[in-house]
Structure 1
Amino acid sequence: MSRTLDNSTSTRIPAPPHDPALPGLPTALDGDAVRTLLAPHVTDGCRLVSVRPAYVRYKPGTSCLVQYELDFAGRPGSTLAHVKLFAGVRAQKLWAKGSLQQLAAQNGSAPLASAAHLPELGAVLHTFPVDPALPALVAAASPAAELVRYKPGRKALLRYGPAYAKLYDDERAPLVFAAGRAVEAAGIATAHPLACFPSLRMAVHAEVAGVPLRDLHGGAFAAGVRAAGEALGALHAIAVPGLPRHTCADEAGELAAAARAVATLRPELGEDAARVAADVTDLLAELAGETTATHGDFSDDQVLVAADGVVLLDFDESRAAHPWRDVGNFLAHLALRGDDAARSSFLDGYGLTDDERLRPFEAGALLKLAVAPFRRLEANWPIGLERRLALARGRLPSTTGRPVDAALPQLAALTNPSVVAAALGREVLAATIVRHKPGRRCVLRYELDGSVLYGKTYASDRGPRVFRNLQALAMPEPVAFLAGLRLLLQPEVRGTPVRAALLAGEAQVAARIAEAVHALHRRPVTLAREHALADELNALRIRIEALTEHRGRAQRCFARLERAAEEPCSWRSAPVHRDLYHDQVLLDDGRPILLDLDDAAMSEPALDVANFLAHLRLLALQEPQRRVDVAKAAAAFRSRYAALDPLLDPRLVRLLEAGTLLRLACIHAPLGRPLLRECEALLPAEAPAVRLQPGSQLEGALDGRAVLDLAAASIEKHAGVRPTACRAFLLRHKKGRAVVLYRFETAAGELAFIGKWFADGGGTVAAEVHTLLRARGFAGADFAVAAPVLHDPELGVLITEAAEGPSLRDVLDDEPEQATRAGGWLARFHGCGALLTHGDFAAADVLVPARGPTVVVDFDNAAPGDPAFDVANFEATLELRGLRRYGDPNAFAAAVSAFRSGYEEYAPLPPLAPAVEALVWARLAERNLRGKPAGAIGRHALARSASVLDR
């Protein structure tokens, strides 16, 4: 047997604007393209002739449902099927669950697979009657049933001879059945309700004779319209118990949703739609809140004209609402039909004149109908949408020109106290905007009788998720989420912003914030959303792609960040804030309160720690005169959190902090350069690009297999396990020396070592210093040097253990007190009896892990000499670093003081002779001026040397 496709083509439907979350959407709207995708799923022996997209329901950035009419050769009528596209991997996850396949297995034979996964679209296929939202449909759609109407995922109308059955995706069937009974009991002609089956979500009514009003024309249509008006007036005069209330707040929510839909499909019309929604909302709020039983979707499509009068159908949307809502909806449909004469007939029948107060109801209905041409996938839907919006605008008084936010059309309702009062069921005295980020979100303040509430509304659909997160975390417990208005309400939180305390360097406040953040991370809750390292990097990548200023430098930083992130790390899962910084914290009687958990998710706690620290760096750049105080606060926060969380990975904190600084550089353009500089300082050093000469020492140093052969026996002797493979990473290469990181694979895991290669066959002094210091106690809990593993003078290589921890240079900005550890190490070194100096002692050579001893590396210049040289060199390099980073040679004065204190804990500071100090400065001047223009750093060092000699 075979399955084939016909060569006929189908109409292509204009796609909405590009949606990066649903890249398959244009394909899904192309009948020919879908026909090709469905080919593997056509039943053997069947021939698919055409695919016509017929209906769409679109949720931007999340999902899209497209219904098709499929024609197969030799089969009468069309086969219905629909695909549902999902963002991300949701389609794959849904298919993997298997529940859809189980439902599809209940279906009989069909020319197309009852269900299938379409990875090319990121979608799942459903062939009628398979519909997970209407699980009873498979059984209900028997051969005896005729399908009358079907909206996938919503409802289906089936005919069984003289009876009609309607299935719903929710629990409304009993309500619809009861409404029909009440209308019939009041003497209003309607389809006789026969039965209700709540377990099937089904209501059944009898067949009724008549011609649809929409199919009539001329005098017959005018007469039918008048009779429809009379019947609607009768409906509004009866009581229908149990109907849900539809308030002006509910109407405002529907109008805002309609405006958002217009803005999604035709962004250039977004402001116009938002202004119509705003004007209608204000006008409706001024009307008296009259409430009656209403049809809810009254139009010429819901009326049959019979021999003895009209029959009202379909009470699916019945509500207790303002009666003119039905009137406005019917008038809107007449306006689309272009029948002005019928307008008067309808109003005469209803008993109204063409009152100006009806216009906002009609305009609102037209706005809500604006996207119908797109939903029906009409070929010219963009024109149809614009026409309907113009009709809505034309029903209103001259536009006010009021400023609107097309992404937040609900703002007009949310700033109207009467609308919010209707939603809350409480009097609202005042509604004011506190903070508005156009196109994204808005914070509002509501003054009630005796209390204050704060509301937050979003352009995105995140509101329900944020509400659930706040319910789970109770920080504090939210008041409500008004879905129609997209309004999240929270109680007022009192407190003082912590910014001033952090600028004052109040370490106790910073430590308390760390405790509050740690308490959040320890909450025994599981939030719905997971946030992985890949998610963090993807969000940052998108920001950088949109960057204009400093883009090249930012891209290089990101590339370094991505490479560093490839290193294995432990990524935990705990409730985290994800947007934690000082402006999100209040102090209430000394107790920190965390605000704005909009982005809370399950993720790595280091994410919050890094975000907070990076924002303190930003604060220091914004307030440079308070930089030292902010650094004290940052150090207190970092230290306290590390003490509370022993599993916190300092390397991961540094990477995430660098990523946050990169993101802040994209946001705060005027500070872009210094923020990128801070980011670069936190990132691991990049391996230099070099050209390898065949047979050179460097080529051998980077040959993992050759190094494995060279060092395997020594590694096994040192570690007790033999390595089986080696990877080499070049760290530095200049002046005839190369530093290489080696990662050896063993049965016990990966081991890291550092290899230093000397072109002149050197390394003997460094090897002897390592051995001597290890023998003199530099392998303890406080001070250490890396253990030497292999020294080969002929090859000029020294291999030692790889010491862990950040360098002192990289932490001094935040933790100047860490310099105490460098001073203590150096004093012990000078006092060990070796009569040695380090020869180039600087913060970059000192590793300060959070747990473990202080380790010093790089003894290439070690030699007998004056200990004061090491002290002077360390302090001079800090002076130059302050000048380079901040333009202030005294920027690291606190670190210098800490270094001296640390030294003096073990020995008095050695006296510094002018000649030694001048030599230090002269050597640093020579390094910074060699082969370079006379920059500020070199000139400063040269001037300092001269000033010492001039004393």
Structure 2
Amino acid sequence: MSTDMSAAPQGQRLQAQRRDADRELAARDALIPGLNWVLDDELLSELLGESVRITRTRYKPHTSALVAFRRAGNGGGSYGWALTTAPEHVGKMQRRADSSQKRGGGIRLVRPSDLHGDVVVAVGPIEEDWPLRPNLRWLRGHGLGRLGALPAAARFLDPPVSVLRYNPGRRLVARVPSATLPVVVKAAVQTDGAAAGLGLRQRLESHGIPVLPELADAECAAHGISASPDWGHGDLSGAGNDSAAYRAGKALAAIHGMDAGPGADPAAEAADLERQLAATRSMIACLLPGLEAPITRLTGRLLATVGAASPHGPVLVHGDFSADQVLVDGEDVRIIDFDRVRTSDPARDLGSFAAVEDIADPSGVGPVAGGRKTAQLIDGYRAAGGHVSLARVETWAAFRLFLNSVDPFRNRVSDWPADTNWQIRRALELIA
């Protein structure tokens, strides 16, 4: 009883801290008058006249803020997006809203009141997500049939379709029924016109890597669509999956043992790492100016270390490896989401996994290869012939921690400043 009674005040305190940080950010970025309205659940709910919860934020300082929000319910109709911009871009929002209205779409512009006449917010459903709309329209009209999915409801994403993830302006993942197993469909803005992703999936399968069958064909790929049968009972982030983590380590070693093809361009790789670090540093300095000194130190150290030659590479790497990229069914595993495959240091995948595990459970973290899933992963990796440099694993864990330090803000974590601070401190510990 006492725990439940203390939970509410604690949650209220965290919400107040997030609200204060959001207001400070909005005050610093006066070029987007509506910024605070799309960062605050209560303000956005007031603006829309219904209760919503903001689930994802894409913020371009001094330019725009695009958020996904969710109402009560499970279907696509429970999700929507809201966009606010600098005043000079309001005309573009108005034209898109007018075009949507002519087509019977649902984009509309809303303003809070005469007291905030400079605040304009565009609101729409997933189907009218402007960058995603062409590929979603193709999926509904042509793709579902190619994937063996059942015809859509009157509204494309209404039940029995369920939305699993929605990143506005980027991608949508939904579970769609079929005559047999449900199909998990991903629609992305980025297309795969050369069907390189399909070719990679075939290569992985031919090498015995535990992946899911790809149901999409080249035409789907050209429209940003990929799909696989629904499989498993959650992912590796769940409790009691140590044996599955060991199997995932063996699978990762098999990926790293594949022919990487033409070697990566070291200069291009170094430039890409520098770009990612600079972009993260710039965003964190914008969100939390007080962190500029530690992130400057961290960026410098990471630049000097992640670009160093690997003693065991380069190899073909997953590029975004973490527990949620490993589906689990008992002890069986399937590796998913190969969108960021590249040639790099094998420790990059191991460090990425360790970093995300630290973020998920920051209490009592110690060495990256401590007694957790990362340790089981590394044991399986070594058993399958993989070579591990723990120093390199720590370096790449610090890299992933820093890149992910923007995510507490993007994902609307209750006290995102504290979480961002923790990730940067942890990265500095690992890279010291």
Give the TM-score band, short-chain normalised: 0.7 to 0.9
Aligned to 2:190: 170
Aligned to 2:61: 60
- Please give the alpha-carbon distance, in whole angstroms, between the structure 1 residues aligned to 2:223 and 2:262: 21
Residue 232 of structure 2 is aligned with which of 169, 191, 209? 209
SS at match of 1:225: helix
Residue 33 of structure 2 is aligned with which of 17, 23, 33? 23
RMSD over aligned Cα atoms: 2.8
Structure 1 residue 137: Cα displacement: 2.1
- Please give the alpha-carbon distance, in whole angstroms, between the structure 2 residues aligned to 1:308 and 1:159: 23
- Please give the alpha-carbon distance, in whole angstroms, between the structure 2 residues aligned to 1:275 and 1:191: 41
CA 1:55 to 1:76, structure 2 compared with 1: closer, same or farther past 3 Å?
closer
Aligned to 2:114: none
SS at match of 2:338: coil
- Please give the alpha-carbon distance, in whole angstroms, between the structure 2 residues aligned to 1:195 and 1:170: 15
Aligned to 1:187: 208
Indicate conservation of the 8 Å contact 2:76/2:163, yes or no: no
Structure 1 residue 115: Cα displacement: 0.7
Indicate conservation of the 8 Å contact 2:173/2:186, yes or no: yes
Q: Does residue 112 of structure 2 align to residue 92 of structure 1?
A: no
Residue 402 of structure 2 is aligned with which of 367, 382, 388? 367
CA 1:243 to 1:234, structure 2 compared with 1: closer, same or farther past 3 Å?
same
Indicate conservation of the 8 Å contact 1:92/1:117, yes or no: no
Q: How many aligned positions are there?
A: 368
Q: Which aligned pairs between 1:562-573 and structure 2 lie closer than 5 A?
A: none
Residue 378 of structure 2 is aligned with which of 336, 347, 355? 347
Uncovered stretches (5+) of structure 2, i.e. residues with no partner: 1-11, 112-117, 141-155
Q: Single out whichever of 92-101 and 303-312 deviates more from structure 2.
A: 92-101
- Please give the alpha-carbon distance, in whole angstroms, between the structure 2 residues aligned to 1:248 and 1:323: 16
SS at match of 2:175: strand
CA 1:259 to 1:145, structure 2 compared with 1: closer, same or farther past 3 Å?
same
What letter corresponds to residue 133 of structure 1 in structure 2? P
Q: Single out whichever of 284-293 and 241-250 deviates more from structure 2.
A: 241-250
Rg comparison, structure with higher value: 1
Uncovered stretches (5+) of structure 1, i.e. residues with no partner: 1-8, 40-47, 108-113, 398-951
SS at match of 2:232: coil
What letter corresponds to residue 286 of structure 2 in structure 1? T
Q: Which aligned pairs between 1:865-876 and structure 2 lie closer than 5 A?
A: none
Return the TM-score normalized by structure 1. Answer: 0.37
User: Deviations 1:126-152 (Å, cap 9, x if unpaired)?
Assistant: 222221111232563344532221111
Q: Which has the higher helix share?
A: 2
- Please give the alpha-carbon distance, in whole angstroms, between the structure 1 residues aligned to 2:171 and 2:402: 23
- Please give the alpha-carbon distance, in whole angstroms, between the structure 1 residues aligned to 2:418 and 2:208: 43
Residue 284 of structure 1 is aligned with which of 306, 309, 316? 306
Q: Does residue 176 of structure 2 align to residue 160 of structure 1?
A: yes
Structure 1 residue 238: Cα displacement: 1.2
CA 1:248 to 1:76, structure 2 compared with 1: closer, same or farther past 3 Å?
closer
Structure 1 residue 199: Cα displacement: 4.3
- Please give the alpha-carbon distance, in whole angstroms, between the structure 2 residues aligned to 1:362 and 1:87: 36
Aligned to 2:47: 37
SS at match of 2:371: helix
CA 1:77 to 1:238, structure 2 compared with 1: closer, same or farther past 3 Å?
closer
- Please give the alpha-carbon distance, in whole angstroms, between the structure 1 residues aligned to 2:285 and 2:405: 11
Residue 122 of structure 1 is aligned with which of 120, 123, 128? 120
Residue 318 of structure 1 is aligned with which of 335, 341, 348? 341
Q: Which protein, 1 or 2, shows the higher relative CO under an 8 Å CA cutoff with sep ≥ 6?
A: 2
- Please give the alpha-carbon distance, in whole angstroms, between the structure 2 residues aligned to 1:388 and 1:67: 24
Structure 1 residue 106: Cα displacement: 5.6
User: After TM superposition, where is structure 1 displaced by more than 4 Å over at least 4 residues in a row?
Assistant: 75-78, 97-100, 240-246
- Please give the alpha-carbon distance, in whole angstroms, between the structure 1 residues aligned to 2:224 and 2:426: 37
SS at match of 1:83: strand
User: Deviations 1:232-283 (Å, cap 9, x if unpaired)?
Assistant: 1111111366998771321121122112221111111012112111101111
CA 1:199 to 1:346, structure 2 compared with 1: closer, same or farther past 3 Å?
closer
Q: Which aligned pairs between 1:298-337 and structure 2 lie closer than 5 A?
A: 298-307=321-330, 309-336=332-359, 337=361
CA 1:101 to 1:244, structure 2 compared with 1: closer, same or farther past 3 Å?
farther
CA 1:312 to 1:106, structure 2 compared with 1: closer, same or farther past 3 Å?
farther
Indicate conservation of the 8 Å contact 1:154/1:168, yes or no: yes
SS at match of 2:127: coil
User: Deviations 1:662-696 (Å, cap 9, x if unpaired)?
Assistant: xxxxxxxxxxxxxxxxxxxxxxxxxxxxxxxxxxx
Q: Which aligned pairs between 1:143-542 and structure 2 lie closer than 5 A?
A: 143=158, 145-161=161-177, 162-172=182-192, 174-196=195-217, 197-216=220-239, 220-239=240-259, 247-288=269-310, 290-307=313-330, 309-336=332-359, 337-338=361-362, 340-342=370-372, 343-351=374-382, 352-353=387-388, 355-397=390-432
Indicate conservation of the 8 Å contact 1:69/1:80, yes or no: yes
Structure 1 residue 360: Cα displacement: 1.7
- Please give the alpha-carbon distance, in whole angstroms, between the structure 1 residues aligned to 2:130 and 2:260: 32
What letter corresponds to residue 110 of structure 2 in structure 1? L
Indicate conservation of the 8 Å contact 2:29/2:62, yes or no: yes
What letter corresponds to residue 275 of structure 1 in structure 2? R
Indicate conservation of the 8 Å contact 2:97/2:108, yes or no: no
Q: Does residue 70 of structure 2 align to residue 69 of structure 1?
A: yes
Aligned to 1:915: none
CA 1:198 to 1:230, structure 2 compared with 1: closer, same or farther past 3 Å?
closer
What letter corresponds to residue 184 of structure 1 in structure 2? E
Indicate conservation of the 8 Å contact 2:76/2:126, yes or no: no
Indicate conservation of the 8 Å contact 2:68/2:166, yes or no: no
Indicate conservation of the 8 Å contact 1:243/1:318, yes or no: no
User: Deviations 1:500-544 (Å, cap 9, x if unpaired)?
Assistant: xxxxxxxxxxxxxxxxxxxxxxxxxxxxxxxxxxxxxxxxxxxxx
Return the TM-score normalized by structure 2. Answer: 0.77
What letter corresponds to residue 273 of structure 2 in structure 1? E
Indicate conservation of the 8 Å contact 1:280/1:360, yes or no: yes
What letter corresponds to residue 349 of structure 1 in structure 2? G
Indicate conservation of the 8 Å contact 1:71/1:77, yes or no: no
SS at match of 1:214: coil
- Please give the alpha-carbon distance, in whole angstroms, between the structure 2 residues aligned to 1:38 and 1:250: 40
User: Deviations 1:277-327 (Å, cap 9, x if unpaired)?
Assistant: 110111123324933221111000100122453210111222222222211
- Please give the alpha-carbon distance, in whole angstroms, between the structure 1 residues aligned to 2:189 and 2:309: 34
Indicate conservation of the 8 Å contact 2:76/2:162, yes or no: no
Indicate conservation of the 8 Å contact 1:176/1:203, yes or no: no
SS at match of 1:195: coil
CA 1:301 to 1:129, structure 2 compared with 1: closer, same or farther past 3 Å?
same
CA 1:244 to 1:145, structure 2 compared with 1: closer, same or farther past 3 Å?
farther
- Please give the alpha-carbon distance, in whole angstroms, between the structure 1 residues aligned to 2:173 and 2:62: 30
SS at match of 1:157: strand
- Please give the alpha-carbon distance, in whole angstroms, between the structure 2 residues aligned to 1:154 and 1:259: 22
Indicate conservation of the 8 Å contact 1:56/1:377, yes or no: yes
Structure 1 residue 65: Cα displacement: 1.0
- Please give the alpha-carbon distance, in whole angstroms, between the structure 2 residues aligned to 1:142 and 1:51: 18
Structure 1 residue 370: Cα displacement: 0.9
- Percent identity at matched positions? 25
